[in-house]
Structure 1
Amino acid sequence: MLFLFLFAGSFIAKAQDNDVALETGAVKNDTVKRKMVKVDGVAAVVGDYIILESDIEKTLQGLKNQGYPSEDLTHCNLLGKLMEDKLYMHSAVQDSIEVSQAEIRAGVDRRIDYFMQQVNGDMKKLIELYGMETEGELREELSNIVKEQMLTERMRDKIIEEIEVTPEEVRTFFYAIPEEERPVFGESVELAQIVIKPDVPEEETQKVIERLRKMKEDVEDNGVRFSSKAMLYSEDPGSRTRGGLYVGITRKTQFAKEFVDVAFSLKEGEVSEPFQTDFGWHILTVDKIKGEQRDVRHILIRPEIPQSAIEAAKSEIDSIRSLLINDKISFEEAAKAYSDEKETKYDGGKLINPQTLDLKFELAKMDQEIHSNIYSLKEGEITTPILEDNERTGEVFYKIIKVNKRVPDHKADYSQDYTQIAELALRDKQLKEIKKWTEEKIEDTFINVGEDNRNCEFANNWLKN
């Protein structure tokens, strides 16, 4: 959804037809005073930021369009949320938290890519849908939103970045909850899988390597822009429209190890030789070195996989499943012997939940495709072969999944559900820290709630009563 948030200066320039009155505000300690302009339609002012009544209405309509129950969306609650966001932004600027133009452009491109999928690639329809005249206007609007969201997120992250919970704090948190009020965790499963990938013919791999070498040559010797090649030929949907750009990666960025190693081995402007990751074959160039960060561009191309190789993978996984069903081999042994998924094969194919980092997957929160394949299986049962055609990674493979364990709905148990309880304890501690920070910042920040909104019952002390 698109909301327009305006600085005071830019808003005043558009206020020629409105009734204008001057109002003076000051921070609590009276050491700083500033003259603010109150324009008809201003709901509140937080620091240097103005919230318009129209912002609240746009927010309300946007949430309704997304299916939120309208009875829960009150004017006062929405205003309180917008004021929180502005307080984070105001503090982010004071704390010199920055968002680069490259990051904003990348964020806008990601949103445009997502929106375009919703309208079948029709840019004209997208522009009309959001009430804009041109693509430039749409991108400018999104740039404001992306910047503000990033500043808000980074300020929140800074507040809680050092918050941790000890086992004793987790224990205290859990046993402080009355037994009748303890959370109920939904049915969960523990899973393992075996993956069989089709073999890529060597000649197909060589074709890709030669294509990438020719692109490298065009960039280095013929003056062709790397970004142009990426936009035309890269098979990475996450960066193609940005000319292959990824901004601010570090050695800890969750990219393939080979990708990061190459990024940190190059000088600015240098183009790598073709190299391989699990996603395919790449060439990479470094746009900019910023201390421990790199702005890089890459081109990804994947070898063609012939249908005969896919059919051979299907035949292999059928044979493995047959051995398992007939108890000729255990699942753990089969995973170690045959699975092509190196992350899981040496642990018997066991899957780790990336959100909780334990073995449990709550059925209600599970990927829909996996859920549809395992929801009716009993402990110890194995799915039929599943063809995975991953658009994001370009991988095509077959897999079988075993249900190692099923845990029914149950009231939280300290020993059995420690990981989930620790998450709740951490979240509770983070929220308390954010609340404490918010209370302190409200006291130290110029805030003015419009007359029409002073009867609101806010969760925070915006009125400084």
Structure 2
Amino acid sequence: MKNKKVKICVAALSIMGCIGLKAQSQKQTDNTVNGDKAIDEVIWVVGDEAILKSDVEAMRAQSESENIKFKGNPDCAIPEQLAVQKLFLHQAAIDSLQVTESEINNGIEEQINYWIQLIGSREKLEEYKKQTISQMRNQMHDEFRDRQLIQKMKEQLVKDIAVSPADVRAYFKNVPKDSIPYVPTDVEVEIITKTPKVSQEEINRIKDELRDYTDRINKGETSFSSLARLYSEDPGSARQGGELDYTGRGMLDPAFANVAFNLTDPKKISKIVESEYGYHIIQLVDKRGDKIKVRHILLKPHVTDDAINKSISRLDSIANDIKVQKFTFEDAATFISDDKDTKNNHGLMFNATQSGRTSKFKMEDLPSEIAKVVDTLKVGEVSRAFKMINSKGKDVCVIVKLKSKIEGHKATMTEDFQTLKDVVLAKKREETLHNWVVNKIKTTYVRINDRYKNCDFEYQGWIK
């Protein structure tokens, strides 16, 4: 069983070798094989963007590691999918769509945290990948930026699509029973979080390092951007020398924003700022209206195993008091929990979906550590304490309560109208995007290597 688990982990992690290959292939189009120089081949051109043979090979390796199946021949479907991505990215540039470094970083952190949970620890992940976590983040940056731009472009194109109750009834009127969607199990979960206490010694160590950076910059020994690239633990901005692009106050942590927006001299370094992410020093680059451009260096204090164990013991004690009815889970969440997002909802977790904000989760939509625990609970039952990594990459300790559970079933119009509506809406959006791609191909310069011209493509118009 142990060997099987290792094989599963390795298979899932093999995708990491593919992330970032696209960016690398565009910068390095030749390498050496058996002493001979091999040139990476341009196989498609879409607009002014080239698709390389190495891009196709990277996507093929990724799809095989994730067991992704393509419609038709992969030799044709993979380059076509890359070409479609180019169309969306081109339109995103025309429409001036942007994603923030914060959005990119959050996506990267979620992926890295998933890998850490899968393989067991940061150290094992770094050993497997033969890279530091920081190097992985840097390599993944452009790939995640493009993914998010494509997603935003798609959302922009379908934002006005709507369906009425009549549309839903008409669609499912003649659908065979075996085609009616299955509604997966829904759960509502309450959570209490305790953040392990960081020792004063560790905080002092972090602050001393930041003071040392400030002294070195002020003495002219080095630059702020050089130190940010070397030491900052904010992966997205570190690779840019710590620089955050023009940002409004509302997009920043309040404590960070209060200091950043009060800076007036680009030559001066801020005092040390504590945010929910860690400790920073900040340097002003420019102000433009109600937006600001700054550089920063982030250092995150490390939590000891002893602090984690103390938090787990504290939560286990709280769970026992709840079980003997000294107080309710909801009251404990309101007055004890550190989780800002849920404590004002009596601990109830909320899920952001395309249809809006809801307290109902599919099991796969829960953080994986929580889903594993919830799967073992009965309705009303409170878990033992366990450790997890939150959305900001911090170790936290939690207990959860399964508030409600609706077992999976075939959808009905009366009980699951929203689910059925989502099916029809998704179909209309898919048709809209398909038609957009077909029309976009007609007005975009496309050149395809001759060997692809006999392909049976999903979209018409590539061959001109």
Above 0.5 in TM-score?
A: yes
Rate the CA distance shift 1:150–1:280 in 2: closer, same or farther, 3 A: closer
Equivalent position SS for 1:403: strand
2:169 matched residue in structure 1: 175
1:352 matched residue in structure 2: 350
Rate the CA distance shift 1:156–1:406 in 2: closer, same or farther, 3 A: closer
1:168-222 deviation line (CA, Å, top 9, x unaligned):
7253453343253332121121100112334456676566445534533443355
Give distance in 2, aligned partners of 1:189 and 1:427. 23
2:369 matched residue in structure 1: 369
Equivalent position SS for 2:378: coil
1:265-301 deviation line (CA, Å, top 9, x unaligned):
4344543222222222222223455666544332333
Rate the CA distance shift 1:281–1:74 in 2: closer, same or farther, 3 A: closer
Equivalent position SS for 1:161: helix
1:343 matched residue in structure 2: 341
1:19 matched residue in structure 2: none
Equivalent position SS for 2:171: coil
Amino acid paired to 1:157? K
Give distance in 1, aligned partners of 2:56 and 2:260. 44
- The structure 2 residue matched to 1:276, chosen from 274, 283, 287, is 274
Q: 1:245-284 counterparts in 2 under 5 A? A: 245-251=243-249, 253=251, 255-267=252-264, 268-284=266-282
How far has the Cα of 1:443 moved from its partner?
2.4
Unaligned runs of 5+ in 1: 12-40, 128-138
1:23-69 deviation line (CA, Å, top 9, x unaligned):
xxxxxxxxxxxxxxxxxx87555444555677655643553355434
Tell whether the 8 Å contact from 1:160 to 1:430 is kept in structure 2 after alignment.
no
1:308-363 deviation line (CA, Å, top 9, x unaligned):
65555344323321221112211111212222223211211111124563112212
Q: Percent of pairs identical after alignment?
A: 25
Amino acid paired to 2:379? E
Rate the CA distance shift 1:420–1:295 in 2: closer, same or farther, 3 A: farther
2:223 matched residue in structure 1: 225
Give distance in 1, aligned partners of 2:204 and 2:194. 22
How far has the Cα of 1:455 moved from its partner?
3.4
How far has the Cα of 1:90 moved from its partner?
5.1
The structure richer in helix per residue is 2
Rate the CA distance shift 1:186–1:235 in 2: closer, same or farther, 3 A: same
Give distance in 2, aligned partners of 1:355 and 1:76. 33
Q: 1:170-209 counterparts in 2 under 5 A? A: 171-178=165-172, 180=177, 181-200=179-198, 205=203, 208-209=206-207
2:460 matched residue in structure 1: 461
Tell whether the 8 Å contact from 1:449 to 1:462 is kept in structure 2 after alignment.
no
Give distance in 1, aligned partners of 2:283 and 2:304. 31
Structure number with greater Rg is 1
Give distance in 2, aligned partners of 1:411 and 1:349. 30
Tell whether the 8 Å contact from 1:43 to 1:450 is kept in structure 2 after alignment.
yes
1:78 matched residue in structure 2: 78
Rate the CA distance shift 1:5–1:327 in 2: closer, same or farther, 3 A: closer
Equivalent position SS for 1:169: coil
For the pair 1:328 / 2:326, whether they are aligned, the reply is yes
2:6 matched residue in structure 1: none
Give distance in 2, aligned partners of 1:436 and 1:70. 20
1:14 matched residue in structure 2: none
Tell whether the 8 Å contact from 1:88 to 1:152 is kept in structure 2 after alignment.
no
Give distance in 2, aligned partners of 1:46 and 1:362. 39
Give distance in 1, aligned partners of 2:406 and 2:146. 41
Equivalent position SS for 2:358: coil
- Aligned CA RMSD, in angstroms, stands at 4.6
Unaligned runs of 5+ in 2: 1-17, 31-40, 116-122
Amino acid paired to 1:370? I
Pick which of 312-321 and 207-216 moved more.
Answer: 207-216
Give distance in 2, aligned partners of 1:402 and 1:169. 36
Amino acid paired to 1:279? Y
2:15 matched residue in structure 1: none
TM-score with structure 1 setting the length: 0.69
Tell whether the 8 Å contact from 1:3 to 1:55 is kept in structure 2 after alignment.
yes
Amino acid paired to 1:184? Y
The count of corresponding residues between Structure 1 and Structure 2 is: 407
Tell whether the 8 Å contact from 1:352 to 1:359 is kept in structure 2 after alignment.
yes
Equivalent position SS for 1:296: strand
